[in-house]
Amino acid sequence: MRSRPTLEDVARAAGVSTATVSRVVNTPDRVRAETRQRVEAAVAELGYAPHFGGRALASNRTGTVGAVIPTMENAIFARGLQAMQEELDAAGVTLLVATSDYDAAKEAHQIQTLLGRGVDGLVLIGEARDPAVYELLERFEVPFVLVWTWRADSPWPCVGFDNFAAARDLAERVLDRGHRRIAMVAGVTRDNDRAEARIRGVRAAMEARGLALAPSAVVECDYRIEPGIEAARGLLAAVPRPTVLICGNDVLAAGACRAVRAAGLRVPEDVSVTGFDNIEIAELLEPPLATVHVPHRRMGRMAARNLLARLDPAAGGACGAERPASLRLETEFLARGSLGPAP
Amino acid sequence: MRSRPTLEDVARAAGVSTATVSRVVNTPDRVRAETRQRVEAAVAELGYAPHFGGRALASNRTGTVGAVIPTMENAIFARGLQAMQEELDAAGVTLLVATSDYDAAKEAHQIQTLLGRGVDGLVLIGEARDPAVYELLERFEVPFVLVWTWRADSPWPCVGFDNFAAARDLAERVLDRGHRRIAMVAGVTRDNDRAEARIRGVRAAMEARGLALAPSAVVECDYRIEPGIEAARGLLAAVPRPTVLICGNDVLAAGACRAVRAAGLRVPEDVSVTGFDNIEIAELLEPPLATVHVPHRRMGRMAARNLLARLDPAAGGACGAERPASLRLETEFLARGSLGPAP
């Protein structure tokens, strides 16, 4: 078995010192072009990949940022992650993504794994998690940023939006169109503060107009089409029938639209449907989906910049840098064909 | 600055030897329950994450598998990755995903980064890449599997499908419906052997019937809706107009359907449209999209098993295990409303 090439092997092949190899890896701008090319040729020839014996030890940096997201399916997180990756990539940092299936214990394990792999920073979705996880993050002194969430008094840096306010705003638009019999196809609230905040937002808007969101009018289900169809079918069987299904996201709303049609009803003439996220399918549906536009790409980009600012050695490194301010992004309600006046 | 807790710190806190801590991390079944609980409590309390000083050194395994995919957007790879992640997760292995933006140089860099992070195995999309990358993989002796591709005489383990055969089969169904003026909204073929094979498949089916696919009838574009609309708009302006737009995937087909409608035409009465992948949007479109069903979840699951079989120490470890056979998965043409007879 051939062993992996080391920093020493590269130095020997290039006829330079190990310190020079390290400089080429970490601060290529400070190395003469000719030397750099010699080292890079040796790196390529030997198949050297800098790891804990190279770049990491030399600079205490690994050039990687980890993200733990709940799921890769359904493109809910896709666009934001893609933008984050592009921004990190431009800074020479690789984004490594793990998925937790909306399971807090799995997420904690994956955070441990990423810290163990030596990531320079972490991106996490939402805020609610076991205090032990935050203690772990502080102990490792690895900078992290919370995305898809924003709360004025959060102790952690957030780059995201206010799920509660966005859902309340959407519900107000629904109420403005005369709807009173409102039901919700919601996401599962366990281990998911965003799903929980969206339900609270709808409830707050209704209560402000003297209406109640009955527990029986809220069904929680996985963010996938089939469970969305099932949940909507159950809600549509209520007597009297709801005039609108407010859905926890666009995927559930796509399922709800199908359930309305499967029941021989029309969207929006008989039952209106709303989503949340404005992912690609929202505009492709017929009628197009009324939903909340989330600035996914901007959120991903700004989250990356937030982390990079704290990783920049010029700013004093991860420990010395001041914590950048959280950033609240605006969401926007999009009135589209799936939301009509109450029948 | 507090330093990260070490294996020794955990051993001291739990009152056991470092070898015992290592056993708890690597082979918990062989440790008495009481001892295990003591060590686990110390791990949790100290926030210890096994890394190159712990699990990796002890077993030469890191419990992570890396995947480099072209993009996270559009859910093209989402479902397969999600299934892969679930299967690996059941085996206690964490999947770390990097994205390359369909750029071979970026992919090579990310493979290096993942090897540098010490992954136990790698999942790569497609087969065509610089021989130097395959040499690097062999040098590191890290098992890898190629997915979304399958070729009978590939020297590498593939768990995927034959893009050429699937596209040829689809084109035959299109020809069977009387279409002769065929145009293609194809994916970008640079650094993408799947996109290239799909064009070749359509061309082969046409040539078998004495027809030619003119270069001007093929437009390559990024796998996103907007470029798909643009490309289709250009192709629809040809005189005589094509009667069908065969698209490189479902995302491009969704764009093509919009372009047909924007031109005041109907799908499929005036122009038929076909996709490839059968991702979620295919069935949500109106009319639903005729496409090639790719068994994404099964592909992800089987790719994970292929790697796990080679990682299982009982099978002799990464180096000793025999290379598992490649696996060819069947695709299926789905006749749906967007494909009609030639007008």
pLDDT tens sequence across A34-74: 888 788 777 767 666 554 333 333 355 778 999 999 998 87
Together in a domain, A113 and A182: no
Together in a domain, A305 and A223: no
Residue A260: predicted pLDDT: 97
The string over B140-172, giving b where at least 16 C-beta atoms fall within 10 Å of a residue's C-beta and e elsewhere, is: bebbbbbbbbbbeeeeebbbbbbbbbbbbbbbb
Closest-CA residue to B255 (of B231, B220, B280): B231
Together in a domain, B84 and B147: yes
pLDDT at B317 over 80: no
- Of B44, B139, B225, which has the smallest distance from its Cβ to A280's Cβ? B225
Closest-CA residue to A91 (of A312, A315, A249): A312
Residue A1's alpha-carbon distances to A4, A210, A281, B56, B131, in angstroms, are 9, 74, 50, 18, 21
Measured in angstroms, the CA of A207 and the nearest CA of chain B are apart by 34
SS3 of residue B246 by DSSP: strand
Query: What's the CA gap between B195 and B220, in Å, rounded?
Result: 9
pLDDT tens digits, residue range B190-231? 999 999 999 999 999 999 999 999 999 999 999 999 999 999
Residue B63: predicted pLDDT: 87
Residue A23: predicted pLDDT: 72
Closest-CA residue to B67 (of B81, B52, B49, B55): B81
pLDDT at B56 over 50: no
Residue B328's alpha-carbon distances to A321, B36, B149, B248, B298, in angstroms, are 52, 43, 9, 21, 11
pLDDT tens digits, residue range A285-299? 989 999 999 999 999
Together in a domain, B180 and B272: yes
Q: Which residues in chain A are closer than 8 Å to B79, comparing Cβ atoms?
A: 72-73
% of chain B with per-residue pLDDT over 90: 67
Together in a domain, B111 and B175: no
Residue B253 lies in a domain: yes
| CATH number of the domain enclosing B34 | 1.10.260.40
- The answer to ipTM > 0.85 is no
The B182-187 sheet, strands edge to edge = B218-221, B182-187, B244-247, B272-274
Confidence of residue A107 (pLDDT cuts 50, 70, 90): very high
Residue B128 lies in a domain: yes
Of A37, A59, A81, the one marking the end of a domain is A59
Together in a domain, B99 and B115: yes
Residue B81 lies in a domain: yes
Together in a domain, B187 and B263: yes
- Provide mean pLDDT across the span B82-105: 92
Together in a domain, A73 and A151: yes
Whether the Cβ atoms of residue A111 and residue A137 lie closer than 8 Å to each other: yes
Q: Which residues in chain A are closer than 8 Å to B254, comparing Cβ atoms?
A: 280, 284
| A–B interface: beta-carbon pairs under 8 A | 167
pLDDT at B83 over 70: yes
Indicate the average pLDDT of chain A. 88
Whether the Cβ atoms of residue B189 and residue B220 lie closer than 8 Å to each other: yes
- Provide mean pLDDT across the span A116-143: 91
Measured in angstroms, the CA of A50 and the nearest CA of chain B are apart by 6
Q: Which residues in chain B are closer than 8 Å to A49, comparing Cβ atoms?
A: 112-113, 115-116, 136, 140
Whether the Cβ atoms of residue B127 and residue B156 lie closer than 8 Å to each other: yes
Residue A177: predicted pLDDT: 98
Pairing of strands A332-334, A291-293: antiparallel
- Of A63, A115, A286, which has the smallest distance from its Cβ to B113's Cβ? A63
What is the helix (H) or strand (E) element at residue A244, kind and residue range?
strand A244-247
pLDDT at B144 over 60: yes
Together in a domain, A116 and A128: yes
Residue A200: predicted pLDDT: 98
Could you give the number of structural domains in chain A? 3
Measured in angstroms, the CA of B205 and the nearest CA of chain A are apart by 31
Together in a domain, A154 and A196: no
Residue A19's alpha-carbon distances to A1, A248, A326, in angstroms, are 28, 54, 39
| CATH number of the domain enclosing B121 | 3.40.50.2300
- Of A81, A114, A284, which has the smallest distance from its Cβ to B284's Cβ? A284
Q: Which residues in chain A are closer than 8 Å to B136, comparing Cβ atoms?
A: 47, 49
Together in a domain, B169 and B285: yes
- Of the ranges A141-150, B19-28, B68-77, which one carries the lowest mean pLDDT score? B19-28
| Domain residue limits at B156 | 64-161+296-311
pLDDT at B327 over 80: yes
Residue A331: predicted pLDDT: 97
Together in a domain, B137 and B167: no
- Provide mean pLDDT across the span B269-280: 96
Residue A48: predicted pLDDT: 63
Residue B45 lies in a domain: yes
Query: What's the CA gap between A20 and A91, in Å, rounded?
Result: 22
Query: What's the CA gap between A71 and A80, in Å, rounded?
Result: 13
Residue B328 lies in a domain: no
